[in-house]
Structure 1
């Protein structure tokens, strides 16, 4: 008789948004974070973990010892729901932050962040990636937020950016020194892939208005690259069923036809689910959507929900034992600073909301 026990059964909510250097001060984020009773998590519960990636965050008032206003805004939005800030990492305008329900903190270890610059051949951080990796219920999980080279004709540069990130993004955690060493990878951001071919912006808009998304996605550069194995081929993506998220006139839902509409903002993932005997990992995607009600920038935010499961078959094992199996017994837990981070971010977030 086969018996299965779940070590972890988590709902993970990801968001990517190019905010075009705008401040979050007047933005209401409850809808974006599904705090309005419309989550796609099982039983309509709140997510266990939020990971939010931003691009083109303003660096005008960048301060070394203070979180970005977008992180503070998220903290103030989530503070009544028992969420704790786990970590953040910023590279100029690229930002990633992670929040989790307080009850999951004991099951998070070896937390580490990294950044890779790809702008100006790796000298400038306007393009590149930031990431957070950790042992999550004993498994190695990494979240990567990237902003790749812009414009239709820069496909070669986007491929080079991807390869630079894969080659140069490094961690000190035992057995998980690079992105694809991890058991589970979530990669998202303004990847800036456009449509191939010579359709005009007006022609693309017409197809979008008629919801001919499938036909347009056949021309999508990211899909074509993945099929050829040139970039992102190790990752999976649920095909978008929403309209292209770029480029809009700010403050509207009207496309700015100076650029051809494109699905620049994407969320992909990868699970290596057969590495450990008797243990099965899975990340079932529950949603993939844009949020048209947000008109702050020329991009629409995109979110995805995943049900992350760690199942054990015919044995009894704790996530601590799984951590030793995956990360090695010598790994040092690094969650001791989370409580301090939570206290600090809530205090600053409350101050920020009073400005």
Structure 2
């Protein structure tokens, strides 16, 4: 599986530049070379206190823009988690949707002693083809002299976040951990902003990295020592004058934006896990913010042809608008349905798992002919399930695992011949 990681502090700006470069599309020669997953971590997405409710209900402009671009290459947004200006989103190719399990989310506030979410972390954990993966995006305490606060932030996040999935209750217990974000680590004292800029211009990055605070706390074991990072070969990513690639020397240039990972390699008898890092770059092209985005690509080992807890929908006949419609499905032997499992109606070609048009609870909407022990179930959908002609799909969601256990083939919804829906009636139909 190939994973493409992005971290970008957008400094409250909107996505006004082309996103193809950010997503690596300029490097892809054909769809088969595209990543299987995109993990996008954003910081300082515009957020205002009066918009907290709206922010919780609707995606931000960056996530919407990324979803639109990725949808053209058949990616689906699996999950987004937001803590004020800190956002993490996971996208995957449509073909992988049925192989994701046990999706959970968490967040940790670290601003103002944990009382405010202007700083902190957002996390998505899940299983991909049987391997557990934890994805963390954080925005830690700023400023050169507050190194110990950043150390405290990291340890607070590690200790405060816990998950329901067995054997992976802690971030670091997962098979794979990817930690991205604006970590805000600066350079140790001794060099002025001008001296740092001069060393960057000379290409003496190794000398600067020797003073990197993140390397220091990893070496001392104070923070991030459980993770590894390929040394950056790109210049410091902060701080730039807006709309330029020129350093703003009011701050000492630093590598604030980082991507680290961890592999628990020997947890399975028949598979040695491995994460091969293919690249680690900053993108100088983007000038909206005072940060440069940082991207990295990884290939991870997972179980091939892994199937678990599957639902198979029986072929669906044509549905009729403004009528009750039915669907049948078969539970695999390892599925334990709950009263809160649900089946959503989606337009064919949906771009997010949140785009359902209607849903019914799988057990409570079950046809009376079902028996408790039967593995074949049928469910009835209300007349309001679909309102316009088109192509649709059904997705079965497990309440316990937060994931898609089954997806139907596309089916057609039409008006029954000789009828029309209220929404299609016009004055010529006799309505005034």
Which TM-score tier does this pair reach, normalised by the shorter chain?
A: 0.7 to 0.9
**2:336, 2:146 → 1: CA distance?**
41
**2:268, 2:215 → 1: CA distance?**
30
**2:308, 2:155 → 1: CA distance?**
34
Measure how far apart 1:330 and its partner are: 8.8
User: 1:30 pairs with 20, 31, 37, which one?
Assistant: 20
- Could you tell me which residue of structure 2 aligns to residue 112 of structure 1? 104
Counterparts of 1:112-261 in structure 2, within 5 Å, are 112-261=104-253
Query: In the alignment, is the contact (CA less than 8 A) between 2:81 and 2:122 conserved in 1?
Result: yes
More RCO (CA 8 Å, sep 6+): 1
The SS at the match of 1:31 is coil
Query: In the alignment, is the contact (CA less than 8 A) between 1:248 and 1:254 conserved in 2?
Result: yes
- Could you tell me which residue of structure 2 aligns to residue 4 of structure 1? none
Q: Establish whether residue 342 from structure 1 lines up as the match of residue 352 from structure 2.
A: yes
Query: In the alignment, is the contact (CA less than 8 A) between 2:71 and 2:351 conserved in 1?
Result: no
CA change 1:263–1:17 in 2 (3 A) is: same
Measure how far apart 1:134 and its partner are: 0.3
Q: Establish whether residue 291 from structure 1 lines up as the match of residue 288 from structure 2.
A: no
User: 1:18 pairs with 9, 22, 30, which one?
Assistant: 9
CA change 1:332–1:78 in 2 (3 A) is: farther
**1:239, 1:335 → 2: CA distance?**
46
**2:235, 2:9 → 1: CA distance?**
16
CA change 1:346–1:45 in 2 (3 A) is: farther
- Could you tell me which residue of structure 1 aligns to residue 263 of structure 2? 271
**2:154, 2:124 → 1: CA distance?**
17
Structure 2: gaps (5+ residues): 310-333, 358-432
CA change 1:105–1:233 in 2 (3 A) is: same
- Could you tell me which residue of structure 1 aligns to residue 37 of structure 2? 49
- Could you tell me which residue of structure 2 aligns to residue 89 of structure 1? 81
The SS at the match of 1:71 is helix
Query: In the alignment, is the contact (CA less than 8 A) between 2:167 and 2:173 conserved in 1?
Result: yes
Measure how far apart 1:252 and its partner are: 0.2
Measure how far apart 1:319 and its partner are: 4.7
The SS at the match of 2:25 is coil
CA change 1:57–1:304 in 2 (3 A) is: same
TM-score (norm 2): 0.71
CA change 1:330–1:168 in 2 (3 A) is: farther
**1:338, 1:68 → 2: CA distance?**
24
CA change 1:138–1:246 in 2 (3 A) is: same
**1:141-172 alpha-carbon deviations (Å, 9 max, x no partner):** 01000000000000000000000000001222
**2:208, 2:345 → 1: CA distance?**
44
CA change 1:51–1:29 in 2 (3 A) is: same
The SS at the match of 1:85 is strand
Bigger drift between 151-160 and 169-178 goes to 169-178
- Could you tell me which residue of structure 2 aligns to residue 6 of structure 1? none
**1:248, 1:332 → 2: CA distance?**
53
Measure how far apart 1:181 and its partner are: 1.4
Measure how far apart 1:80 and its partner are: 0.9
TM-score (norm 1): 0.86
**1:216, 1:202 → 2: CA distance?**
13
Query: In the alignment, is the contact (CA less than 8 A) between 1:110 and 1:331 conserved in 2?
Result: no
**1:242, 1:277 → 2: CA distance?**
38
Measure how far apart 1:318 and its partner are: 3.4
**2:166, 2:336 → 1: CA distance?**
7
Structure 1: gaps (5+ residues): 1-9, 322-328, 348-355
**2:75, 2:165 → 1: CA distance?**
25
Q: Which has the larger radius of gyration?
A: 2
The SS at the match of 1:280 is coil
**1:316-351 alpha-carbon deviations (Å, 9 max, x no partner):** x83539xxxxxxx7998999779677265699xxxx
Query: In the alignment, is the contact (CA less than 8 A) between 2:131 and 2:303 conserved in 1?
Result: no
**1:142, 1:288 → 2: CA distance?**
19
**1:335, 1:247 → 2: CA distance?**
47
